[in-house]
């Protein structure tokens, strides 16, 4: 596969750094690729044949191309380094925004993953953010289902693409991988987020005839770890195993410490009743086996929370596997790492 990273006119970024980030992903994904400036962005797009990451920059003519149809549209991820909010794009294209320069890394990954390992996108509600992507294993069913909840401190700049590599790996391991998008509280409020996770979890069992809902593993990363634990607590009997990967497992203390530049307070907006219902530490015993995965190279507040949550869950009578590993915040969702291997070993042992 070939990947073109195309930079439009007047983009404010160091192009050498854009190239370094892209080159690292080309190597990691095993693809050929190039980064190039394109004064004529329309011509550059039409000349592509593989995956495309397009950074349009600020000029009006370049930005109008985001909604223009063309042969490239279904292969293109549009990337704004700044927080523009959601932008309309042509059918088949995607738009990422607000992830700063690191957005180049994730846009290249998404551009490759969605072409190399296509998923079936299924809506579970009427809103544009109420969908999941389903990847099925080879062969015939029934198969266990893995539901994936991405993190991002409950902010809309991050999305389900963070879990693409995990979803692909899980399908290769024999799971139906249901990678869930949901409305985030910064744009829709906390109640919408909670309702979407519950609805998406309930939909997982009906996503495909091959799915065996009696073997459901619920994965959540970072803020998604909190959402996963809360969803399992709200749906007794629906989940076989919960996996918290660098999860925010103590909301009250996270709010007091201001983790994620005030992410908990921003998400909950002072609603103490919502905090009590959502705080993993306040929902014990969970009544479901839980795997608590945490990297030692992650933020120390998350390390602290994972240790305290695991101890409290054990004391409450839950079955707990605590994996504190040589990993950072994103290693725990990267199938290329020992942290992921250890996680899946623990999940497999519980399921069998």
pLDDT of 140 reads: 85
* Cβ-contact 225, 247 below 8 angstroms: yes
Q: Are strands 131-135 and 94-97 parallel, antiparallel or unpaired?
A: unpaired
User: Would you call the peptide bond into 204 cis, given omega within 30 degrees of 0 as the criterion?
Assistant: no
In the block, which residue shows the tokens 């605590």? 322
pLDDT of 312 reads: 98
**Three-state secondary structure call for residue 103:** helix
Length of the chain: 352
Contacts of 267 (CB under 8 A, 6+ apart): 153, 154, 185, 186, 190, 193, 223
The pTM of the whole model exceeds 0.85: yes
pLDDT of 141 reads: 78
Closest to 275 (Cα-Cα) out of 288, 260, 289, 264: 264
Instruction: Take residue 104 and report the two structure tokens written for it.
Output: 């180049």
- Which string of DSSP letters, residue by residue, matches 173-232? TTPEEEEE----HHHH-HHHHHHHHHHHHHHHTTS-TTEEEEEEEEEEETHHHHHHHHHH
53-106: per-residue pLDDT in tens? 999 999 999 999 999 999 999 999 999 999 999 999 999 999 999 999 999 999
Q: Are strands 32-37 and 131-135 parallel, antiparallel or unpaired?
A: unpaired
Dihedral angle computed from the Cα positions of residues 23, 33, 169 and 291, in that order, rounded to the nearest 10 degrees = 20
How big, in percent rounded to 5, are the helix, strand and coil portions of the chain? 45, 20, 35
- Residue 28 CA from chain centroid, whole number: 19
**Burial (Cβ within 10 Å: 0-12, 13-18, ≥19) of residue 99:** buried
All domains of the chain, ordered by start, with CATH?
A: 2-112 (3.40.50.9100), 119-351 (3.40.50.1820)
**Three-state secondary structure call for residue 305:** helix
* Cβ-contact 264, 279 below 8 angstroms: no
* Cβ-contact 303, 220 below 8 angstroms: no
Q: Which residues in the chain come in under a pLDDT of 50? A: none
Closest to 185 (Cα-Cα) out of 195, 177, 176, 175: 195
Helix ranges (H only) for the chain are: 15-29, 41-46, 60-64, 103-116, 164-172, 185-188, 190-204, 223-234, 251-257, 259-268, 272-278, 300-315, 338-351
Rounded to 5 degrees, what angle do the CA atoms 207, 210, 211 make? 55
Contacts of 126 (CB under 8 A, 6+ apart): none
């Amino acid at each position: 596969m070939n990947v073109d990273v195309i930079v439009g006119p007047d983009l404010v970024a160091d192009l050498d750094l854009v190239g370094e980030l892209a080159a690292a992903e080309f190597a990691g994904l095993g693809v050929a690729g190039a980064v190039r400036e394109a004064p004529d962005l329309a011509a550059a797009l039409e000349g592509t044949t593989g995956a495309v990451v397009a950074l349009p920059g600020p000029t009006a003519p370049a930005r109008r191309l985001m909604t223009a149809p063309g042969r490239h549209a279904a292969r293109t991820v549009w990337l704004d380094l700044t927080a523009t909010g959601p932008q309309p794009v042509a059918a088949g294209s995607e738009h990422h925004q607000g992830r700063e320069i690191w957005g180049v890394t994730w846009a290249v990954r998404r551009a490759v993953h969605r072409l190399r390992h296509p998923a079936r996108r299924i809506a579970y509600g009427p809103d544009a953010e109420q969908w999941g992507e389903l990847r099925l294993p080879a062969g015939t069913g029934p198969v266990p289902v893995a539901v994936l909840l991405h993190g991002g401190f409950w902010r809309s700049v991050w999305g389900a693409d963070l879990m693409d590599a995990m979803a692909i790996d899980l399908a290769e391991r024999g799971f139906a991988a249901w990678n869930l998008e949901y409305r985030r509280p910064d744009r829709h409020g906390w109640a919408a987020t909670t309702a979407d996770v519950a609805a998406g979890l309930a939909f997982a069992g009906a996503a495909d005839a091959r799915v065996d809902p009696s073997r459901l593993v619920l994965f959540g990363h970072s803020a998604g770890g909190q959402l996963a634990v809360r969803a399992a607590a709200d749906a007794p009997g629906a989940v076989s195993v919960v996996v918290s990967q660098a999860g925010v497992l103590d909301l009250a203390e996270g709010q007091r410490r201001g983790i994620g530049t005030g992410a908990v307070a921003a998400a909950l907006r002072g609603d103490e009743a919502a905090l009590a219902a959502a705080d993993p530490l306040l929902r014990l015993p969970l009544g479901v086996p839980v795997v608590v995965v945490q990297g030692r190279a992650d933020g120390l507040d998350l390390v602290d929370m994972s240790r305290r949550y695991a101890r409290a869950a054990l004391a409450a009578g839950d079955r707990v596997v605590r994996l504190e590993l040589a990993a950072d915040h994103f290693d725990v969702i990267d199938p290329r790492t020992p942290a992921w291997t250890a996680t899946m070993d623990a999940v497999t042992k519980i399921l069998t």
